[in-house]
Amino acid sequence: MTELRIAIVGFGKIARDQHVGAIAAVPGAMLAAIASRNASLPGVPHFATVEELLEKGPQIDAVSLCTPPQVRRAQAAAALAAGKHVMLEKPPGIGVAELDPLIAMATEAKRTLFATWHSRHAPSVEPAREWLVARRLKSVHINWKEDVRVWHPGQAWIWEPGGLGVFDPGINALSILTRILPKPVFVTAAELAFPANCQSPIAANLTLTDIDGLPITAEFDFRQTGPQSWDILVETDEGRMTLSRGGRIMAVDGKVVADAPDEEYRELYRHFVKLAATGASDVDLAPLRLVADAFLLGKRNIVEPFVD
């Protein structure tokens, strides 16, 4: 098998914690270079920018964009124009419309554009989807609360326009929701809490539904201390199905029926290798559309300033 030579662009926490190890563990993938202004990896060719990488770097087939979403569109366009396959960390961009030209570029160039939703690859997401399809759903509640100081320490970009704030983790829940439910959902109301010194929300409450009126609520909060909460609860005519630990554990009426080790990022790269082999793309924007609608519909409340 010819290896897919991948350059990571943006070498922050998520790239170091997840992407490097995932690439090393996936047959058919190899880490060929890194582009980052602030960090490097011993033994791996390093460049300051994606432009320098494309001009002066070693031969690569693909780039994995792990930079903040505010700059990803231009980087993706440069890579596609240079004939490279592109993987986008979530969220794929700062808006929905900016993805359309990238999709068109990828199609014309016969190159892969992969908008990743790593939480969809949590081990119990597919078992949950399969279980729910045969049941009548009564209600859904998402409880997604974590400590931003633990998961995004010193990452000022997340509080800027386009950084999404609490929707950076919240979109993970929405990516699972849009995978496991049998029908498309949409936002009907939202309430967003903005710190007085930030441009993105620190907490959000959403009301959603589907075409049949299924009641769906979501609570997102970046201020959680102590135990963290990444749970989706679905009431059905055959009991309560719970996805916990971000989709790792599935239980029905409290009994665990699915639990396995986390290989989310390895699954992303396995899929990326397969897509790149044929130049196919995978760009599902449903989770991003829900976030965009939450901003459109959301009532905005100003809360105390956030100090990292």
Q: Are 61 and 54 in contact (CB under 8 A)?
A: no
How many whole angstroms separate alpha carbon 28 and alpha carbon 49?
Answer: 25
Pair 177, 231: CB distance under 8 Å:
no
CA angle 106, 108, 111 (to 5 degrees): 40
Long-range contacts, 43-50 (Cβ 8 Å, 24+): 50/9, 50/75, 50/78, 50/79
Which residues lie across from 8 on neighbouring strands?
A: 34, 64
- Cβ-based neighbour number of residue 179 at 10 Å: 20
Catalytic residue from among 13, 56, 84, 90: 90
What is each CA distance from 103 to 82, 125, 254, in whole angstroms? 15, 27, 42
Q: Are strands 239-244 and 249-252 parallel, antiparallel or unpaired?
A: antiparallel
Q: Are 36 and 48 in contact (CB under 8 A)?
A: yes
Name the residue among 157, 195, 170 with its Cα closest to residue 70: 157
- Cα(29)–Cα(246) distance, integer angstroms: 26
Helical (H) or strand (E) element with 194: strand 185-195
CA dihedral 261, 170, 72, 15 (to 10 degrees): -30
Catalytic site includes residue 90: yes
Q: Characterise 292 by phi-psi region: left (phi > 0), alpha (psi -120 to 50), beta (else).
A: alpha
Report, as residue numbers or ranges, the catalytic residues: 90
